[in-house]
Structure 1
Amino acid sequence: MRLVTFVADDHPDRQHLGALLDDDSAVLDLTAAAPEDDALRTMQSLIDSGADGLDRARTQCALRPERALVPRDAVRLLAPLPRPLRIRDCGLFVAHAAAALRELARRQAAEAADPDAEFERLMASGRFDLNPLFYERVLYYTCDHLSVSGPEDEIEVPAGAKELDYELEFAAVLGRTARDVDPSAAREHIFGYTVFNDWSARDLQIALMRTGVGPGEGKDFDGSNALGPCIVTSDELPDPYDLTMTARVNGEEWSRGRTDGMQHSFEDAVVHFSRGRSIHAGEVMASGTVPSGTAFDLGKRLRDGDVVELEVDGIGVLRNRVRIPGGHGGGPNGSGRGRS
């Protein structure tokens, strides 16, 4: 199933759980289809209901009650899981971290009288070498689960920053609460997959990371963790490690990668994070960024009004417009202010 959370145009204050049907042209309102079923009220309640709840949702999709079918263009999709219990952004694509460190060194070197020589000096210093722990362990940082956005939401650069950037990722949503998960059973704990955009205020992030305490407000601001457009249940995506990932800005492709380049798997993360502690149904584990999956990696910058689309095979397109007050639309990095 391709599960969504949405509001109807005539009831914008009432969230419903739904399933995309007919090549995503229609939405089955699962909440309206079975109003007496507590499992079909929200995405979290469906996740908590386990296999039985999913079976009842599939039954409703097969029945397709006419009263609960609405055209896709008559609703507004929200983040499929509007309030995750936790979000961890993991370093599953290790190659991206190495490329990001090189670009960080290049930016710092740009301020020197001889940028090329300074870049070589910085790289030779070892300060921008990738720590071997990235290969040995599943590293992560905890995102603000209260700062979630969804499809078509506008993303505004936070106060004190001028550079907003996308990060091309996807994520696994956990379906079981557990502890000390055996590797052979790890995949059973994944409810489904969604597209994830780890919006980042690069200038603020870089300044704060020089303190050694992490990205701080450079990653955590209103709407900084975008999810969508749906959660595809794991049975519909039998091989999540054979997918193409694409980022477009104003319709122009900027980034492309594949999930087969992950150093660690989501199953590795499930096992690692459950060792001696609990993982919970409704948690989101993001992959980290695919190589070349940011404007920062490419030496480009988003402009005010740019439209960013992240697409992952089998899941869909997560589309947002950026707002950078004082910025300018179009320019050499894009093709205008984007589409509405």
Structure 2
Amino acid sequence: MRFATWDDGNAVTAGVVGDEGLHPLPPDTAVLDLVGAGLPAAIEAGTQALSRPPVPLADVRLLPPLQPTAIRDFVAFEEHVEGVVMSVGDGSGVVPEWYEAPTFYFTNPYPLYGAHDDVPVPPGSALFDFELEVAAVVGRKVASEPPERLRDAVFGYTILNDWSARDLQRREMKVLLGPAKGKDAATTLGPWLVTADELERFRDDDGFLALEMRVSVNGVEIGRDLLSNMGWPFEELVSYASRGTTLRPGDVLGSGTCGNGGCLAELWGRRGGLDPAPLRPGDVVEMSVEGIGTIRNRVVPGLDLPPVRPARPRSRARTRPS
């Protein structure tokens, strides 16, 4: 089942995606409410919604399918790390620590964009980039649980575009922090949330979801990969994220960017230059993931803000002037 959230110009509504359009859930019901209720209850509510008259997709603006309680974004594709280290970091190759355990960062859960929204360039960035990912939405409370008990912990999946200001990210990572402002401006989630049972048919013998992932810019394909090329399946990511803490229903875990052109920075690193060119206003980024759907966002100009002031020279005085 596919759950969506949309704006028809008068109200924001949650519902189910059917063959003839969007079937609304009862008023004041959010997709996050269904996630918290659990998959069986959500499917029952969705089945009831399918009996209601549909709203044509063309008549609404798709919003992110839910407002996550938190977003953790992993870096689970070895091939992506290889290329990006050459582009954003210092040196080349994958550090041994990457293989020891999954690594993630917390990203901003508020500047979310829908499947067809315009996305502004972050202030001060000249190296704007996309990142093709799949996000898993946690469906129940998880606290320090082993992966073999977590097949039922994922409610569903959606596409995640982790928009990235690479020039801001480079500066932050040279200070051994971040990414922070380099990832702070925009995240696209969509087009809808596909329940986990819908994608079980893609699971391979090793427990990975073998979904084909593609991304293009202005109609030209830039990257293509399989989600099953992740270093860890989502159950391992959920387990690691829950170690010593608690995940809540609605938490989002990003797979990290796929390889083979899942972002521009990977290709910049491998090719030794800005090839393809960074994103510019007017560019259209389209991402498709098998079994989930397609998102398509146009890049638009962002805010023109004054430059950031550098740190002032500091003394090492230990006492106040008398």
Q: What's the TM-score once normalised by structure 1's chain length?
A: 0.80
What is the match of residue 243 of structure 1?
211
Tell me, yes or no, if the aligned pair for 1:228 and 1:318 is still in contact at 8 Å: yes
The total of aligned residue pairs comes to 289
2:106 to 133, 142, 145: 142
Tell me, yes or no, if the aligned pair for 1:157 and 1:163 is still in contact at 8 Å: no
Residue 280 of structure 2 aligns to a residue whose secondary structure is coil
Tell me, yes or no, if the aligned pair for 2:121 and 2:281 is still in contact at 8 Å: no
What is the match of residue 310 of structure 2?
none
2:25 to 24, 30, 43: 30
Tell me, yes or no, if structure 1 residue 92 matches structure 2 residue 76.
yes
Tell me, yes or no, if structure 1 residue 233 matches structure 2 residue 195.
yes
Q: Distance in 2 between matches of 1:77 and 1:316?
A: 13
Tell me, yes or no, if the aligned pair for 1:162 and 1:324 is still in contact at 8 Å: no
Pairwise CA RMSD: 1.9
CA drift at 1:163? 2.0
Q: Sort the Cα spacing of 1:30 and 1:213 in 2 relative to 1 into closer, same or farther, 3 A.
A: same
Residues 262-316 of structure 1 deviation map (CA, whole Å, 9 limit, x = unaligned): 1111100111122221111000000000112112222322222101011100111
What is the match of residue 274 of structure 1?
242
What is the match of residue 130 of structure 1?
94
Q: Distance in 1 between matches of 2:239 and 2:98?
A: 16
Q: What's the TM-score once normalised by structure 2's chain length?
A: 0.85
What is the match of residue 291 of structure 2?
314
Q: Distance in 2 between matches of 1:204 and 1:51?
A: 40
1:178-327 map, 5 Å: 178-221=142-185, 224-238=186-200, 239=202, 241-291=209-259, 292-298=261-267, 299-300=275-276, 301-324=278-301
Q: Distance in 2 between matches of 1:52 and 1:321?
A: 36
Q: Distance in 1 between matches of 2:107 and 2:21?
A: 32
What is the match of residue 312 of structure 2?
none
Residue 55 of structure 2 aligns to a residue whose secondary structure is strand
**Structure 2 letter corresponding to 1:47:** V
**Structure 1 letter corresponding to 2:25:** L
Residue 12 of structure 2 aligns to a residue whose secondary structure is strand
Q: Distance in 1 between matches of 2:22 and 2:107?
A: 30
Q: Distance in 2 between matches of 1:214 and 1:130?
A: 18
What is the match of residue 65 of structure 1?
52
Tell me, yes or no, if the aligned pair for 2:122 and 2:302 is still in contact at 8 Å: no
**Structure 2 letter corresponding to 1:79:** P
Tell me, yes or no, if structure 1 residue 56 matches structure 2 residue 24.
no
What is the match of residue 18 of structure 1?
15
Q: Distance in 2 between matches of 1:290 and 1:324?
A: 27
Unmatched 5+ residue regions in structure 1? 106-121, 327-340
1:78 to 45, 49, 63: 63
What is the match of residue 334 of structure 1?
none
CA drift at 1:52? 4.6
CA drift at 1:95? 2.1
What is the match of residue 5 of structure 1?
5
CA drift at 1:325? 5.8
Q: Sort the Cα spacing of 1:46 and 1:92 in 2 relative to 1 into closer, same or farther, 3 A.
A: same
CA drift at 1:61? 4.5
Residues 239-259 of structure 1 deviation map (CA, whole Å, 9 limit, x = unaligned): 352111000111111111111
Residue 237 of structure 1 aligns to a residue whose secondary structure is helix
Q: Distance in 1 between matches of 2:222 and 2:148?
A: 37
Structure 1 or 2: more helix by fraction: 1
**Range moving further from structure 2, 308-317 or 94-103:** 94-103
Residues 184-212 of structure 1 deviation map (CA, whole Å, 9 limit, x = unaligned): 22110000000000000111211222111
Residue 70 of structure 1 aligns to a residue whose secondary structure is coil
Following superposition, which runs of at least 4 residues in structure 1 exceed 6 angstroms of deviation? none
1:95-114 map, 5 Å: 95-104=79-88
Q: Distance in 1 between matches of 2:181 and 2:7?
A: 30
Q: Sort the Cα spacing of 1:163 and 1:323 in 2 relative to 1 into closer, same or farther, 3 A.
A: farther
Residues 46-105 of structure 1 deviation map (CA, whole Å, 9 limit, x = unaligned): 11111452132233145x223xx2111111110011x21000110111221111112336
* Higher RCO structure, 1 or 2 (CA under 8 Å, sep 6+): 2
